[in-house]
Amino acid sequence: MPAISAYAPGKIILFGEHAVVYGRPALAVPVMQVKARAAVLANPRGASGLIRIEAPDVQITSNLSDLPDDHPFQTVARMVCEELKIQSLPAMTIRLSSTIPTASGLGSGAAISVALIRALSAFLGHPMADEKVNALAYETERYYHGSPSGIDNTVITYAMPVYFVRDQPIERLTIARPFTVIIADTGIKSPTIEAVSDVRRCWQVDSDRYERLFDQIGQIARSARQILESGETDRLGRMMVQNHTLLCEIGVSSAALDTLVLAAMDAGAQGAKLCGGGRGGNMIALVDPENAEKVAQALNRAGACRTIITEVK
């Protein structure tokens, strides 16, 4: 029997990370140049329930049962069984691979979960609808984010631009005029759960100040939506810089991220900001398409270990 495989893209948050955990809106788009893949193969000679996991990108080659109970791969297998009312899984090998850098703000954890849920449910003869895939992937996000807003699993499951508000129906974000973004990686791994937990501690200590910062970020996300939907994108770059400044005040930027933001602006980007959980990981820069190579080179010189030029549409 051939392997059943499924894919899921990466993502970037254009506006609103962290504030989105506290109910403010955020805008996110999929990034199709990077993706996670899950492939499930039957193992007819294996004992029932023997699930072999091969995930070299995260240094896992083991039996599923040897992973911690709260590990996302265990969570997915458990939830898919519950959902499909299956007592025990047949023997199989699951191969997971991804070109999305881990712990870097591009949604690698959510993408692996989405690909795995899709491949496993299809392998069991019951491919799940996006709504269900999204709901299950959200549960695995607790492992990566602690208290996830749900934005990563949503934009990745539906692979479309979204205007996202926690616990509200999903809204598609219309991009009236495509634009070019460079994604640049500091190369510093930064687990989202740590940044999200630190922000929560600060918010508990000084909730008035943090609520004000979240309000300002939410306002930027709302205005950015209008701008993107009208196609009059002149102010977009400035709004990215404002969003970055607010993320610095929240305490989730870092010297490496600020260096890349400045390098992009010096090289002629219209705007730039960190993207995702922060502290390390990736930043994004809004550029004129004809200036993209020049800004990407400046980012590489300033220390980026990888750049991706992508058209948001």
The contact pattern for ligand PMV, residues 111-150, with x = CB under 6 A and - = no contact, is: ----------------------------------x--xx-
Residue number, 25 or 277, with CB nearest to ligand PMV: 277
17 binds ligand PMV (CB under 6 A): yes
* Site size with ligand PMV, rule: CB under 6 A: 16
Q: How many CB atoms lie within 10 A of CB 300?
A: 15
Residue number, 53 or 110, with CB nearest to ligand PMV: 110
Angle between helices 108-123 and 130-145 (to 10 degrees): 140
Please select the residue that binds ligand PMV; options are 89, 94, 183, 196, rule is CB under 6 A.
Answer: 196
CB of 225 to ligand PMV, least distance (A): 17
Q: Which of residues 263-282 bind ligand PMV (CB under 6 A)?
A: 276-277
Residue number, 25 or 148, with CB nearest to ligand PMV: 148
Residue number, 152 or 185, with CB nearest to ligand PMV: 152
25 binds ligand PMV (CB under 6 A): no
Residue number, 37 or 279, with CB nearest to ligand PMV: 279
CA distance 229 to 224: 8
185 binds ligand PMV (CB under 6 A): no
The contact pattern for ligand PMV, residues 149-168, with x = CB under 6 A and - = no contact, is: x-xx----------------
Please select the residue that binds ligand PMV; options are 20, 53, 111, 162, rule is CB under 6 A.
Answer: 20
- Closest-by-Cβ residue to ligand PMV is 276
Residue number, 95 or 306, with CB nearest to ligand PMV: 306
Contact set with ligand PMV (CB under 6 A): 13, 17-18, 20-21, 105, 107, 145, 148-149, 151-152, 192, 196, 276-277
